[in-house]
């Protein structure tokens, strides 16, 4: 579970434990946060292992994945955002978002493919994407570009890895209240506008996303690959 320190990633890690996973490997930059999530995973019934690594460090991230032992699924939950007008985006912002959202995700997934192939049993690589990988939105040109890139990566990886019975999917949620989104969602002017674009009339929870990821990685989804499970309350139907 790459990117498991908090928020959606933490919910996914606990979701696997509740679904019967024997072992969950938690990867992130902050050891104290990972240990808190590990305690929740153990309480939910699974073994938990913590690996502190910066996912943007390709060598370190690759070492963690390849050193994690036999795996059945790898979840890549690497992402950040900086909303701002297109004409104001600085090269440094562009590089930072693409560096984590695309480059880091790409090379974690590459290591995951090597690890899963080595088992000979197949498995699943799941990316946590976004509804913004299926639509456009103002103030989010770079973020949308990174998430659309992930959707293309999912399709190409799925074709290459199908012969090894390795499935590749994305799970694309709408807005979820996390540390990254709380200020925006709690702004009365912005939050009400965003909520108004979700036909079901509510934000997603971390558990909503976790349920989708756990299902997508399970044998119950054994014929699902090269596609995106959109958990958006209807946002992208408009």
Spatial distance between the Cα atoms of 105 and 151, rounded to a whole number of angstroms:
12
Q: How far apart are the first and last CA of the chain?
A: 32
CA distance 116 to 71: 6
Positions marked active-site: 143, 147
Distance CA 124, CA 122 (A): 7
What is the rounded radius of gyration, in angstroms, for the C-alpha atoms of the chain?
A: 17
- Output the six-digit token pair for 71: 């795996």
Distances in Å between the alpha carbon of 204 and those of 77, 150, 186, 201, 233?
16, 21, 14, 10, 8
Q: Is the CB of residue 116 less than 8 Å from the CB of residue 164?
A: yes
Question: Any idea which residue has 């902050």 for tokens?
Answer: 30
């Amino acid at each position: 579970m790459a990117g498991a320190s908090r928020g959606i990633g933490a919910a996914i890690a606990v979701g696997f434990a509740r679904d019967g996973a024997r072992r969950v490997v938690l990867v992130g930059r902050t050891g104290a946060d990972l240990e808190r999530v590990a305690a929740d995973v153990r309480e939910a019934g699974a073994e938990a292992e913590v690996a502190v690594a910066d996912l943007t460090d390709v060598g370190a991230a690759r070492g963690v994945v390849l050193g994690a032992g036999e795996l059945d699924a790898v979840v890549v939950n690497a992402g950040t955002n900086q909303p701002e007008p297109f004409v104001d985006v600085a090269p440094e912002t562009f590089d930072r978002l693409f560096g984590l959202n695309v480059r880091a995700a790409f090379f974690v997934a590459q290591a995951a493919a090597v690890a899963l192939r080595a088992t000979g049993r197949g498995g699943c690589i799941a990316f946590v994407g976004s509804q913004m990988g299926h639509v456009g939105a103002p103030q989010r040109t770079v973020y949308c570009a990174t998430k659309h890139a992930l959707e293309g990566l999912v399709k190409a990886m799925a074709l290459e890895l199908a012969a090894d019975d390795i499935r590749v999917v994305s799970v694309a949620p709408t807005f979820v209240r996390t540390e990254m989104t709380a200020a925006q969602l709690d702004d009365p002017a912005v939050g009400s506008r965003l909520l108004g674009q979700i036909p079901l009339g509510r934000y997603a929870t971390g558990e909503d996303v976790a349920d989708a990821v756990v299902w997508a990685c399970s044998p119950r989804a054994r014929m699902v690959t090269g596609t995106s499970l959109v958990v958006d309350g209807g946002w992208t139907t408009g």
